[in-house]
Protein backbone atom coordinates (compact mmCIF):
# COMPACT_ATOMS: atom_id res chain seq x y z
CA UNK A 1 0.00 0.00 0.00
CA UNK A 2 1.02 3.59 -0.54
CA UNK A 3 1.48 5.59 2.64
CA UNK A 4 0.19 9.08 3.29
CA UNK A 5 3.83 10.15 3.79
CA UNK A 6 4.49 9.34 0.11
CA UNK A 7 1.22 10.52 -1.36
CA UNK A 8 -0.29 13.88 -0.52
CA UNK A 9 -3.09 14.19 -3.10
CA UNK A 10 -6.67 13.28 -2.27
CA UNK A 11 -8.36 11.26 -5.06
CA UNK A 12 -11.58 13.28 -5.15
CA UNK A 13 -13.69 12.20 -8.10
CA UNK A 14 -10.91 10.04 -9.59
CA UNK A 15 -12.29 6.94 -11.31
CA UNK A 16 -9.22 6.13 -13.40
CA UNK A 17 -6.88 3.54 -11.87
CA UNK A 18 -4.06 4.66 -14.16
CA UNK A 19 -4.42 8.29 -13.05
CA UNK A 20 -4.64 7.19 -9.44
CA UNK A 21 -1.36 5.26 -9.72
CA UNK A 22 0.67 7.63 -11.91
CA UNK A 23 -0.25 11.09 -10.63
CA UNK A 24 0.43 10.76 -6.92
CA UNK A 25 -3.01 10.10 -5.48
CA UNK A 26 -3.58 8.16 -2.27
CA UNK A 27 -4.88 4.69 -3.14
CA UNK A 28 -6.49 2.04 -0.98
CA UNK A 29 -5.45 -1.36 -2.31
CA UNK A 30 -8.58 -3.26 -3.41
CA UNK A 31 -6.66 -5.79 -5.51
CA UNK A 32 -6.95 -8.61 -2.93
CA UNK A 33 -10.65 -8.66 -3.83
CA UNK A 34 -9.76 -8.99 -7.52
CA UNK A 35 -7.55 -12.00 -6.83
CA UNK A 36 -10.30 -13.60 -4.75
CA UNK A 37 -13.01 -13.00 -7.38
CA UNK A 38 -10.99 -14.51 -10.21
CA UNK A 39 -9.86 -17.44 -8.11
CA UNK A 40 -13.36 -18.36 -6.97
CA UNK A 41 -15.57 -17.72 -9.99
CA UNK A 42 -16.26 -16.00 -13.28
CA UNK A 43 -19.66 -14.26 -13.14
CA UNK A 44 -20.42 -11.61 -10.51
CA UNK A 45 -22.93 -8.94 -9.58
CA UNK A 46 -22.32 -6.21 -7.01
CA UNK A 47 -24.78 -3.61 -5.74
CA UNK A 48 -23.48 -0.56 -3.88
CA UNK A 49 -24.77 3.01 -3.40
CA UNK A 50 -23.62 5.80 -5.69
CA UNK A 51 -20.17 7.33 -5.19
CA UNK A 52 -18.81 4.34 -3.29
CA UNK A 53 -16.01 3.45 -5.72
CA UNK A 54 -17.70 0.94 -8.06
CA UNK A 55 -16.40 2.65 -11.20
CA UNK A 56 -12.82 2.78 -9.90
CA UNK A 57 -12.99 -0.92 -9.05
CA UNK A 58 -14.26 -1.74 -12.57
CA UNK A 59 -11.40 0.30 -14.06
CA UNK A 60 -8.92 -1.54 -11.83
CA UNK A 61 -10.25 -4.85 -13.14
CA UNK A 62 -9.84 -3.56 -16.68
CA UNK A 63 -6.20 -2.62 -16.08
CA UNK A 64 -5.45 -5.99 -14.44
CA UNK A 65 -6.94 -8.13 -17.22
CA UNK A 66 -5.31 -5.87 -19.81
CA UNK A 67 -1.91 -6.81 -18.36
CA UNK A 68 -0.83 -3.34 -17.22
CA UNK A 69 1.49 -4.76 -14.60
CA UNK A 70 3.47 -1.57 -13.89
CA UNK A 71 0.38 0.12 -12.49
CA UNK A 72 0.15 -2.56 -9.79
CA UNK A 73 3.70 -2.17 -8.48
CA UNK A 74 3.64 -2.62 -4.70
CA UNK A 75 0.02 -3.80 -4.61
CA UNK A 76 -1.25 -7.24 -3.63
CA UNK A 77 -1.87 -8.32 -7.21
CA UNK A 78 1.82 -7.78 -8.01
CA UNK A 79 2.82 -10.30 -5.33
CA UNK A 80 3.46 -13.85 -6.64
CA UNK A 81 1.28 -15.14 -3.78
CA UNK A 82 -1.74 -13.43 -5.35
CA UNK A 83 -1.80 -16.10 -8.07
CA UNK A 84 -2.24 -13.52 -10.84
CA UNK A 85 -0.76 -14.54 -14.19
CA UNK A 86 0.62 -11.39 -15.82
CA UNK A 87 1.66 -13.29 -18.95
CA UNK A 88 -2.00 -13.57 -19.99
CA UNK A 89 -3.62 -10.49 -21.55
CA UNK A 90 -7.36 -10.62 -22.14
CA UNK A 91 -9.58 -8.51 -24.42
CA UNK A 92 -11.81 -6.37 -22.20
CA UNK A 93 -15.25 -5.09 -23.26
CA UNK A 94 -16.68 -2.36 -21.05
CA UNK A 95 -20.02 -0.63 -20.74
CA UNK A 96 -20.51 2.38 -18.49
CA UNK A 97 -24.12 3.47 -18.67
CA UNK A 98 -23.35 6.72 -16.84
CA UNK A 99 -21.62 7.77 -20.08
CA UNK A 100 -24.74 7.02 -22.15
CA UNK A 101 -27.69 9.02 -20.81
CA UNK A 102 -30.76 7.49 -22.43
CA UNK A 103 -34.37 8.40 -21.73
CA UNK A 104 -36.38 6.17 -24.09
CA UNK A 105 -36.22 2.54 -25.24
CA UNK A 106 -35.26 3.72 -28.74
CA UNK A 107 -32.35 5.73 -27.36
CA UNK A 108 -31.28 2.68 -25.35
CA UNK A 109 -31.30 0.45 -28.44
CA UNK A 110 -29.27 3.05 -30.33
CA UNK A 111 -26.84 3.33 -27.42
CA UNK A 112 -26.29 -0.43 -27.30
CA UNK A 113 -25.67 -0.56 -31.05
CA UNK A 114 -23.19 2.33 -30.76
CA UNK A 115 -21.28 0.44 -28.08
CA UNK A 116 -21.20 -2.73 -30.20
CA UNK A 117 -19.99 -0.75 -33.24
CA UNK A 118 -17.17 0.80 -31.16
CA UNK A 119 -16.06 -2.66 -30.06
CA UNK A 120 -16.09 -3.78 -33.68
CA UNK A 121 -13.85 -0.88 -34.74
CA UNK A 122 -11.41 -1.44 -31.88
CA UNK A 123 -11.07 -5.17 -32.53
CA UNK A 124 -11.49 -4.99 -36.30
CA UNK A 125 -14.68 -7.04 -36.26
CA UNK A 126 -17.92 -6.35 -38.09
CA UNK A 127 -21.23 -6.79 -36.33
CA UNK A 128 -23.78 -9.03 -38.02
CA UNK A 129 -26.99 -7.62 -39.39
CA UNK A 130 -29.45 -8.78 -36.78
CA UNK A 131 -30.80 -8.14 -33.29
CA UNK A 132 -28.84 -6.34 -30.60
CA UNK A 133 -28.35 -9.57 -28.68
CA UNK A 134 -27.27 -11.31 -31.87
CA UNK A 135 -24.76 -8.58 -32.67
CA UNK A 136 -23.44 -8.74 -29.10
CA UNK A 137 -22.96 -12.49 -29.36
CA UNK A 138 -21.28 -12.21 -32.77
CA UNK A 139 -18.83 -9.54 -31.61
CA UNK A 140 -17.77 -11.51 -28.52
CA UNK A 141 -17.18 -14.67 -30.54
CA UNK A 142 -15.21 -12.74 -33.18
CA UNK A 143 -13.02 -10.97 -30.60
CA UNK A 144 -12.31 -14.28 -28.86
CA UNK A 145 -11.25 -15.80 -32.17
CA UNK A 146 -9.02 -12.90 -33.22
CA UNK A 147 -7.41 -12.32 -29.80
CA UNK A 148 -6.86 -15.98 -29.00
CA UNK A 149 -8.01 -15.40 -25.42
CA UNK A 150 -11.34 -15.47 -23.64
CA UNK A 151 -13.15 -12.16 -23.30
CA UNK A 152 -13.69 -10.10 -20.11
CA UNK A 153 -16.95 -8.15 -19.87
CA UNK A 154 -17.33 -5.33 -17.33
CA UNK A 155 -20.65 -3.48 -17.06
CA UNK A 156 -20.81 -0.46 -14.74
CA UNK A 157 -24.11 1.13 -13.66
CA UNK A 158 -25.97 -1.67 -15.42
CA UNK A 159 -29.31 -0.38 -14.06
CA UNK A 160 -28.95 3.35 -14.77
CA UNK A 161 -31.24 3.42 -17.85
CA UNK A 162 -34.02 1.97 -15.69
CA UNK A 163 -33.43 4.08 -12.59
CA UNK A 164 -33.32 7.27 -14.68
CA UNK A 165 -36.85 6.56 -15.91
CA UNK A 166 -38.31 4.80 -12.88
CA UNK A 167 -40.98 7.47 -12.34
CA UNK A 168 -42.44 6.53 -15.75
CA UNK A 169 -43.29 2.90 -15.11
CA UNK A 170 -43.97 1.90 -18.72
CA UNK A 171 -40.73 3.46 -19.96
CA UNK A 172 -38.79 1.78 -17.13
CA UNK A 173 -40.33 -1.58 -18.05
CA UNK A 174 -39.34 -1.04 -21.68
CA UNK A 175 -35.77 -0.29 -20.61
CA UNK A 176 -35.72 -3.36 -18.37
CA UNK A 177 -36.93 -5.68 -21.11
CA UNK A 178 -34.28 -4.47 -23.58
CA UNK A 179 -31.49 -4.88 -21.04
CA UNK A 180 -32.84 -8.28 -20.00
CA UNK A 181 -32.49 -9.57 -23.57
CA UNK A 182 -29.09 -7.94 -24.00
CA UNK A 183 -27.55 -9.18 -20.74
CA UNK A 184 -29.23 -12.56 -21.13
CA UNK A 185 -26.88 -13.41 -24.02
CA UNK A 186 -23.99 -13.68 -21.55
CA UNK A 187 -25.00 -17.15 -20.39
CA UNK A 188 -24.84 -18.61 -23.90
CA UNK A 189 -21.39 -17.06 -24.38
CA UNK A 190 -19.83 -18.92 -21.45
CA UNK A 191 -17.23 -20.83 -23.56
CA UNK A 192 -15.85 -17.50 -24.80
CA UNK A 193 -15.78 -15.57 -21.53
CA UNK A 194 -13.04 -15.37 -18.91
CA UNK A 195 -14.76 -13.05 -16.43
CA UNK A 196 -17.99 -11.02 -16.18
CA UNK A 197 -18.94 -8.39 -13.62
CA UNK A 198 -21.99 -6.15 -13.43
CA UNK A 199 -22.29 -3.34 -10.89
CA UNK A 200 -25.14 -1.01 -10.05
CA UNK A 201 -27.24 0.48 -7.28
CA UNK A 202 -30.25 -1.83 -7.43
CA UNK A 203 -30.88 -5.50 -7.97
CA UNK A 204 -33.95 -6.37 -10.00
CA UNK A 205 -36.30 -9.23 -9.30
CA UNK A 206 -35.37 -12.66 -10.61
CA UNK A 207 -38.18 -12.48 -13.14
CA UNK A 208 -36.62 -9.30 -14.51
CA UNK A 209 -33.11 -8.63 -15.77
CA UNK A 210 -31.40 -11.56 -14.06
CA UNK A 211 -33.88 -14.27 -15.04
CA UNK A 212 -31.53 -15.58 -17.75
CA UNK A 213 -28.38 -15.14 -15.70
CA UNK A 214 -28.76 -17.82 -13.05
CA UNK A 215 -24.99 -18.36 -13.12
CA UNK A 216 -24.39 -14.84 -11.81
CA UNK A 217 -22.94 -14.79 -8.29
CA UNK A 218 -24.46 -11.90 -6.33
CA UNK A 219 -21.78 -10.81 -3.84
CA UNK A 220 -23.73 -7.80 -2.55
CA UNK A 221 -24.39 -9.44 0.84
CA UNK A 222 -21.33 -11.69 0.87
CA UNK A 223 -19.49 -10.86 4.09
CA UNK A 224 -16.13 -11.60 2.44
CA UNK A 225 -16.73 -8.70 0.06
CA UNK A 226 -18.37 -6.20 2.42
CA UNK A 227 -15.29 -3.98 2.16
CA UNK A 228 -14.87 -4.19 -1.61
CA UNK A 229 -16.00 -0.56 -1.92
CA UNK A 230 -15.57 2.19 0.65
CA UNK A 231 -12.82 2.70 3.24
CA UNK A 232 -12.31 0.58 6.34
CA UNK A 233 -11.13 2.18 9.54
CA UNK A 234 -7.72 0.63 8.94
CA UNK A 235 -7.63 2.29 5.53
CA UNK A 236 -8.27 5.80 6.82
CA UNK A 237 -5.94 5.36 9.81
CA UNK A 238 -3.04 4.27 7.57
CA UNK A 239 -3.42 5.55 4.01
CA UNK A 240 -5.00 8.82 5.15
CA UNK A 241 -3.25 9.11 8.52
CA UNK A 242 -1.83 12.62 7.95
CA UNK A 243 -5.31 13.97 7.18
CA UNK A 244 -7.15 11.96 9.87
CA UNK A 245 -4.76 13.11 12.60
CA UNK A 246 -6.38 16.55 12.51
CA UNK A 247 -9.77 15.17 13.60
CA UNK A 248 -11.35 13.13 16.35
CA UNK A 249 -11.73 9.58 15.03
CA UNK A 250 -14.89 9.25 17.12
CA UNK A 251 -16.48 12.21 15.36
CA UNK A 252 -15.41 11.02 11.91
CA UNK A 253 -16.79 7.58 12.71
CA UNK A 254 -20.10 9.01 13.96
CA UNK A 255 -20.59 11.09 10.83
CA UNK A 256 -19.40 8.87 7.97
CA UNK A 257 -18.88 5.25 9.11
CA UNK A 258 -21.46 2.51 9.60
CA UNK A 259 -22.12 1.00 6.17
CA UNK A 260 -22.21 -2.79 6.26
CA UNK A 261 -23.24 -5.61 3.96
CA UNK A 262 -23.00 -8.44 6.57
CA UNK A 263 -19.22 -8.03 6.93
CA UNK A 264 -16.65 -5.39 7.83
CA UNK A 265 -18.19 -1.93 8.09
CA UNK A 266 -16.86 0.87 5.90
CA UNK A 267 -16.77 4.65 5.72
CA UNK A 268 -18.34 6.56 2.85
CA UNK A 269 -15.27 7.36 0.67
CA UNK A 270 -16.82 10.45 -0.93
CA UNK A 271 -17.49 12.00 2.48
CA UNK A 272 -14.04 11.16 3.84
CA UNK A 273 -12.23 12.76 0.91
CA UNK A 274 -14.39 15.91 0.99
CA UNK A 275 -13.97 16.22 4.77
CA UNK A 276 -10.18 16.04 4.47
CA UNK A 277 -10.25 18.51 1.59
CA UNK A 278 -12.71 21.12 2.92
CA UNK A 279 -12.00 20.55 6.63
CA UNK A 280 -15.67 20.91 7.60
CA UNK A 281 -18.18 18.24 8.60
CA UNK A 282 -21.05 18.36 6.13
CA UNK A 283 -23.44 15.87 4.50
CA UNK A 284 -21.36 15.87 1.28
CA UNK A 285 -22.62 12.56 -0.07
CA UNK A 286 -26.26 13.25 0.75
CA UNK A 287 -26.17 16.66 -0.92
CA UNK A 288 -24.99 15.23 -4.25
CA UNK A 289 -28.21 13.35 -4.87
CA UNK A 290 -31.30 14.47 -2.97
CA UNK A 291 -33.63 11.44 -3.10
CA UNK A 292 -36.62 13.33 -4.52
CA UNK A 293 -38.24 10.20 -5.94
CA UNK A 294 -37.86 8.39 -2.61
CA UNK A 295 -39.50 11.26 -0.78
CA UNK A 296 -42.36 11.35 -3.30
CA UNK A 297 -42.87 7.64 -2.76
CA UNK A 298 -42.79 8.07 1.02
CA UNK A 299 -45.34 10.89 0.93
CA UNK A 300 -47.80 8.58 -0.87
CA UNK A 301 -47.29 5.74 1.61
CA UNK A 302 -45.82 7.42 4.71
CA UNK A 303 -44.20 5.48 7.49
CA UNK A 304 -43.18 6.74 10.92
CA UNK A 305 -39.49 7.74 10.34
CA UNK A 306 -38.47 6.13 13.63
CA UNK A 307 -39.43 2.72 12.20
CA UNK A 308 -36.48 2.85 9.81
CA UNK A 309 -34.16 2.52 12.80
CA UNK A 310 -34.48 -1.16 13.71
CA UNK A 311 -36.46 -2.26 10.65
CA UNK A 312 -36.46 -6.06 10.29
CA UNK A 313 -35.88 -7.28 6.73
CA UNK A 314 -35.16 -10.43 4.77
CA UNK A 315 -34.05 -11.41 1.28
CA UNK A 316 -37.46 -10.48 -0.13
CA UNK A 317 -36.98 -6.87 0.96
CA UNK A 318 -33.27 -6.39 0.30
CA UNK A 319 -32.66 -8.50 -2.74
CA UNK A 320 -35.06 -7.31 -5.40
CA UNK A 321 -36.34 -4.19 -7.09
CA UNK A 322 -39.35 -4.15 -9.41
CA UNK A 323 -40.38 -0.89 -11.17
CA UNK A 324 -43.96 -2.20 -11.29
CA UNK A 325 -44.13 -2.77 -7.52
CA UNK A 326 -41.65 -0.44 -5.87
CA UNK A 327 -40.96 -0.95 -2.16
CA UNK A 328 -39.56 2.13 -0.51
CA UNK A 329 -37.55 0.17 2.06
CA UNK A 330 -35.80 -1.72 -0.75
CA UNK A 331 -34.80 1.54 -2.42
CA UNK A 332 -33.65 3.08 0.87
CA UNK A 333 -31.35 0.12 1.50
CA UNK A 334 -29.98 -0.22 -2.01
CA UNK A 335 -29.40 3.54 -2.33
CA UNK A 336 -27.45 3.67 0.95
CA UNK A 337 -29.93 5.47 3.22
CA UNK A 338 -30.34 2.34 5.34
CA UNK A 339 -27.72 -0.29 6.12
CA UNK A 340 -27.44 -3.64 7.88
CA UNK A 341 -26.90 -3.31 11.63
CA UNK A 342 -27.13 -6.99 12.62
CA UNK A 343 -28.01 -10.16 10.76
CA UNK A 344 -28.56 -13.88 11.12
CA UNK A 345 -29.15 -16.80 8.80
CA UNK A 346 -30.25 -20.38 9.27
CA UNK A 347 -31.87 -23.09 7.11
CA UNK A 348 -35.30 -22.69 8.72
CA UNK A 349 -35.79 -18.91 9.00
CA UNK A 350 -33.51 -17.94 6.15
CA UNK A 351 -31.68 -14.61 6.09
CA UNK A 352 -32.91 -11.91 8.47
CA UNK A 353 -31.34 -8.59 9.33
CA UNK A 354 -32.00 -5.39 11.23
CA UNK A 355 -31.67 -2.18 9.23
CA UNK A 356 -30.96 1.34 10.41
CA UNK A 357 -29.48 4.67 9.41
CA UNK A 358 -25.74 4.12 8.83
CA UNK A 359 -24.49 7.31 10.44
CA UNK A 360 -25.20 10.85 11.57
CA UNK A 361 -25.01 12.31 8.07
CA UNK A 362 -27.84 10.16 6.74
CA UNK A 363 -29.99 10.23 9.88
CA UNK A 364 -29.97 14.03 10.15
CA UNK A 365 -30.27 14.78 6.43
CA UNK A 366 -33.01 12.26 5.65
CA UNK A 367 -35.07 13.26 8.67
CA UNK A 368 -34.77 16.91 7.67
CA UNK A 369 -36.35 15.95 4.34
CA UNK A 370 -39.06 14.02 6.16
CA UNK A 371 -39.79 17.13 8.26
CA UNK A 372 -40.01 19.38 5.21
CA UNK A 373 -42.31 16.88 3.48
CA UNK A 374 -44.62 16.54 6.48
CA UNK A 375 -44.87 20.30 7.02
CA UNK A 376 -44.82 21.52 3.42
CA UNK A 377 -42.02 24.02 4.04
CA UNK A 378 -38.37 24.10 5.11
CA UNK A 379 -37.66 23.83 8.84
CA UNK A 380 -34.00 24.86 8.57
CA UNK A 381 -34.46 28.11 10.49
CA UNK A 382 -36.55 26.58 13.28
CA UNK A 383 -33.86 23.88 13.83
CA UNK A 384 -31.44 26.54 15.03
CA UNK A 385 -33.92 27.82 17.59
CA UNK A 386 -34.88 24.26 18.59
CA UNK A 387 -31.24 23.45 19.29
CA UNK A 388 -30.88 26.53 21.50
CA UNK A 389 -34.03 25.66 23.47
CA UNK A 390 -33.08 22.01 24.05
CA UNK A 391 -29.47 22.69 24.97
CA UNK A 392 -30.49 25.61 27.18
CA UNK A 393 -33.18 23.57 28.90
CA UNK A 394 -35.91 26.14 28.13
CA UNK A 395 -38.94 23.88 28.35
CA UNK A 396 -41.29 26.87 28.65
CA UNK A 397 -40.15 28.18 25.25
CA UNK A 398 -40.65 24.87 23.48
CA UNK A 399 -44.45 25.28 23.38
CA UNK A 400 -44.23 28.54 21.45
CA UNK A 401 -41.78 27.07 18.96
CA UNK A 402 -43.92 23.97 18.31
CA UNK A 403 -47.04 26.11 17.92
CA UNK A 404 -45.18 28.27 15.42
CA UNK A 405 -44.00 25.15 13.59
CA UNK A 406 -47.54 23.88 13.00
CA UNK A 407 -49.05 27.33 12.45
CA UNK A 408 -46.64 27.89 9.55
CA UNK A 409 -48.08 25.02 7.50
CA UNK A 410 -49.70 26.64 4.45
CA UNK A 411 -53.46 26.13 4.13
CA UNK A 412 -52.98 25.04 0.51
CA UNK A 413 -50.72 22.24 1.73
CA UNK A 414 -53.60 20.73 3.74
CA UNK A 415 -55.99 21.11 0.81
CA UNK A 416 -53.72 19.38 -1.70
CA UNK A 417 -51.97 16.90 0.56
CA UNK A 418 -53.26 13.96 2.58
CA UNK A 419 -50.19 13.72 4.82
CA UNK A 420 -52.07 15.27 7.75
CA UNK A 421 -54.33 12.22 7.76
CA UNK A 422 -51.32 10.02 8.38
CA UNK A 423 -51.86 8.31 11.76
CA UNK A 424 -48.40 9.20 13.03
CA UNK A 425 -48.46 12.75 11.61
CA UNK A 426 -47.72 14.75 14.79
CA UNK A 427 -45.25 12.28 16.28
CA UNK A 428 -43.47 11.93 12.92
CA UNK A 429 -42.99 15.67 12.59
CA UNK A 430 -41.48 16.02 16.04
CA UNK A 431 -39.36 12.87 15.69
CA UNK A 432 -37.87 13.91 12.35
CA UNK A 433 -37.43 17.52 13.57
CA UNK A 434 -35.45 16.37 16.61
CA UNK A 435 -33.56 13.70 14.65
CA UNK A 436 -32.45 16.28 12.09
CA UNK A 437 -30.29 17.80 14.86
CA UNK A 438 -28.38 14.55 15.31
CA UNK A 439 -29.69 13.74 18.76
CA UNK A 440 -30.22 10.22 20.01
CA UNK A 441 -33.95 9.71 19.60
CA UNK A 442 -35.93 6.75 20.96
CA UNK A 443 -39.49 6.34 19.75
CA UNK A 444 -41.74 4.13 21.88
CA UNK A 445 -39.02 3.95 24.51
CA UNK A 446 -39.69 0.77 26.53
CA UNK A 447 -39.93 0.87 30.34
CA UNK A 448 -41.27 -1.66 32.86
CA UNK A 449 -44.51 0.34 33.06
CA UNK A 450 -45.14 1.06 29.39
CA UNK A 451 -43.70 2.94 26.42
CA UNK A 452 -42.57 6.55 26.38
CA UNK A 453 -43.81 8.12 23.14
CA UNK A 454 -40.53 9.88 22.50
CA UNK A 455 -37.25 10.28 24.36
CA UNK A 456 -34.70 12.85 23.19
CA UNK A 457 -31.19 12.78 24.65
CA UNK A 458 -29.20 16.00 24.34
CA UNK A 459 -25.83 16.91 25.84
CA UNK A 460 -27.52 18.66 28.75
CA UNK A 461 -30.76 16.78 29.35
CA UNK A 462 -33.17 13.95 28.71
CA UNK A 463 -36.53 15.04 27.31
CA UNK A 464 -39.47 12.68 27.82
CA UNK A 465 -42.50 13.35 25.60
CA UNK A 466 -46.04 11.99 25.79
CA UNK A 467 -48.51 12.88 23.03
CA UNK A 468 -52.29 12.82 22.80
CA UNK A 469 -54.57 13.76 19.91
CA UNK A 470 -58.00 15.14 20.90
CA UNK A 471 -60.28 18.05 20.01
CA UNK A 472 -60.94 18.83 23.70
CA UNK A 473 -58.48 19.53 26.55
CA UNK A 474 -57.92 16.53 28.83
CA UNK A 475 -60.46 16.31 31.63
CA UNK A 476 -59.09 13.24 33.34
CA UNK A 477 -55.55 12.09 32.70
CA UNK A 478 -53.33 14.53 30.83
CA UNK A 479 -50.25 13.51 28.88
CA UNK A 480 -47.98 14.77 31.68
CA UNK A 481 -49.97 12.89 34.31
CA UNK A 482 -49.51 9.73 32.26
CA UNK A 483 -45.73 10.22 32.42
CA UNK A 484 -46.00 10.41 36.21
CA UNK A 485 -48.54 7.60 36.61
CA UNK A 486 -46.38 5.20 34.64
CA UNK A 487 -43.18 6.42 36.30
CA UNK A 488 -41.40 6.79 32.97
CA UNK A 489 -38.67 8.97 34.42
CA UNK A 490 -37.43 6.16 36.69
CA UNK A 491 -35.65 4.59 33.71
CA UNK A 492 -33.28 7.57 33.64
CA UNK A 493 -32.84 8.30 37.36
CA UNK A 494 -29.21 7.18 37.25
CA UNK A 495 -28.39 9.58 34.43
CA UNK A 496 -26.96 12.83 35.84
CA UNK A 497 -28.56 14.98 33.16
CA UNK A 498 -31.69 17.03 33.90
CA UNK A 499 -35.01 15.40 33.06
CA UNK A 500 -37.59 17.40 31.10
CA UNK A 501 -41.11 15.96 31.14
CA UNK A 502 -43.33 17.26 28.34
CA UNK A 503 -47.02 16.43 27.83
CA UNK A 504 -48.68 17.65 24.62
CA UNK A 505 -52.24 17.31 23.35
CA UNK A 506 -52.85 18.12 19.67
CA UNK A 507 -56.19 19.25 18.23
CA UNK A 508 -56.84 17.58 14.84
CA UNK A 509 -59.24 20.40 13.90
CA UNK A 510 -56.97 23.37 14.52
CA UNK A 511 -53.94 21.17 13.74
CA UNK A 512 -52.00 22.58 16.64
CA UNK A 513 -51.39 22.32 20.39
CA UNK A 514 -54.50 22.45 22.57
CA UNK A 515 -52.74 21.60 25.84
CA UNK A 516 -49.07 21.78 26.86
CA UNK A 517 -47.49 20.92 30.23
CA UNK A 518 -43.86 20.71 31.26
CA UNK A 519 -41.88 19.83 34.35
CA UNK A 520 -38.15 19.75 35.11
CA UNK A 521 -36.61 17.23 37.48
pLDDT tens for 252-270 read: 999 999 999 999 999 999 9
pLDDT category of residue 7 using cuts at 50, 70 and 90: very low
Query: 121, exposed or middle or buried, with CB in 10 Å at 0-12, 13-18, 19+?
Result: exposed
Please check the confidence at residue 100 and state whether its pLDDT lies above 90. no
Assign domain 374-520 to its CATH architecture. Answer: 3-Layer(aba) Sandwich (3.40)
Mean pLDDT of 14-18: 97
Alpha helices in 95-219 (DSSP H): 105-122, 132-147, 160-163, 169-188
pLDDT of residue 2: 43
Fold exhibited by the domain 29-225: Rossmann fold (3.40.50)
Q: What angle do CA 406, 412, 413 make, to 5 degrees?
A: 55
DSSP state of 81: G
Closest CA to 345 of 216, 260, 225, 222: 222
What are the phi and psi torsion angles at 41 (to 5°)?
180, -170
Strands 350-356 and 339-346, bridge-based pairing: antiparallel
Q: Where in the chain are all domains bearing CATH 3.40.1350?
A: 374-520
Which range, of 132-146, 255-269, 456-470, 472-486, averages the lowest pLDDT?
472-486
Region of 304 on the Ramachandran plot (φ > 0 left; ψ -120 to 50 alpha; else beta): beta
Mean pLDDT of 12-36: 97
Alpha helices in 23-131 (DSSP H): 31-40, 54-65, 105-122
Closest CA to 306 of 463, 501, 444: 444
pLDDT tens for 444-457 read: 999 999 999 999 99
Closest CA to 353 of 338, 364, 368, 365: 338
pLDDT of residue 299: 86
Closest CA to 48 of 209, 211, 180, 219: 219
Which range, of 123-127, 151-155, 438-442, averages the lowest pLDDT?
123-127
pLDDT category of residue 3 using cuts at 50, 70 and 90: very low
Distance, in Å, from the CA atom of 464 to the CA atom of 518, rounded to the nearest integer, reads 10
3-state secondary structure of 353: strand
Distance, in Å, from the CA atom of 206 to the CA atom of 15, rounded to the nearest integer, reads 30
Distance, in Å, from the CA atom of 207 to the CA atom of 344, rounded to the nearest integer, reads 26
What are the phi and psi torsion angles at 181 (to 5°)?
-65, -40
Q: How far is CA 345 from the centre of its chain?
A: 22
Q: Where in the chain are all domains bearing CATH 3.40.50?
A: 29-225
Q: What is the 3-state secondary structure (H, E, C) of 185-198?
A: HHHHCHHHEEEEEE
Structure pTM? 0.92
Mean pLDDT of 77-90: 96
Distance, in Å, from the CA atom of 353 to the CA atom of 351, rounded to the nearest integer, reads 7
Distance, in Å, from the CA atom of 32 to the CA atom of 77, rounded to the nearest integer, reads 7
Beta strands in 146-273 (DSSP E): 151-156, 193-200, 217-218
104 HSE (CA, 13 A, CB side): 3
Distances in whole angstroms, Cα of residue 53 to Cα of each of 65, 138, 159, 201? 19, 32, 16, 12
3-state secondary structure of 238: helix
DSSP state of 308: G
Closest CA to 508 of 368, 406, 428: 406
Closest CA to 470 of 480, 459, 479: 479
What are the phi and psi torsion angles at 505 (to 5°)?
-115, 125
Distance, in Å, from the CA atom of 256 to the CA atom of 334, rounded to the nearest integer, reads 17
Q: Enumerate helices (H) and strands (E) in the chain, giving the number of each.
A: 21, 13
pLDDT tens for 371-404 read: 999 898 999 889 999 999 999 999 999 999 999 9
Q: Give CA torsion, residues 332, 333, 339, 344, to 10 deg.
A: 140
pLDDT of residue 418: 67
Distance, in Å, from the CA atom of 299 to the CA atom of 376, rounded to the nearest integer, reads 11
Average pLDDT, whole number, for the chain?
91
Please check the confidence at residue 471 and state whether its pLDDT lies above 80. no
Percent share of the chain, pLDDT over 90: 77
Nearest-Å Rg of the Cα atoms of the chain is 27
Which range, of 44-58, 183-197, 394-408, 411-425, averages the lowest pLDDT?
411-425
Distance, in Å, from the CA atom of 405 to the CA atom of 64, rounded to the nearest integer, reads 57
Mean pLDDT of 329-339: 94
Distance, in Å, from the CA atom of 359 to the CA atom of 259, rounded to the nearest integer, reads 8
3-state secondary structure of 405: helix
Please check the confidence at residue 210 and state whether its pLDDT lies above 80. no
pLDDT tens for 146-203 read: 999 999 999 999 999 999 998 899 999 999 999 999 998 998 999 999 999 999 998 8
Distance, in Å, from the CA atom of 390 to the CA atom of 460, rounded to the nearest integer, reads 8
Amino acid sequence: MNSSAQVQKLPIGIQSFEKMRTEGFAYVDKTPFIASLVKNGSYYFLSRPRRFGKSLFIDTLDCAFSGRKKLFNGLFLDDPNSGWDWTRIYPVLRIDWSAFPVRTPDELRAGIQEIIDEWGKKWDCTASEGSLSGNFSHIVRSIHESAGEKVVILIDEYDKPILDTVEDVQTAIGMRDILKDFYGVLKSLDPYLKFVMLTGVSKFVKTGIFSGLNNLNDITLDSAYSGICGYTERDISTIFHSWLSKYSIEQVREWYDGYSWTGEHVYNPFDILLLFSKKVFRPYWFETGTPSFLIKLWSVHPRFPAEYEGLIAGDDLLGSFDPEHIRLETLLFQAGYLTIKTWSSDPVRGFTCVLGYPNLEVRTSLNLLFSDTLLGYSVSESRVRLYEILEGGHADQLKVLIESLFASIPYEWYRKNQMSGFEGFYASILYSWFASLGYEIIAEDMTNKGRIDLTVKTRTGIWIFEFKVSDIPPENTSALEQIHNREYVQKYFADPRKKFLIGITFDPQSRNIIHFESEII
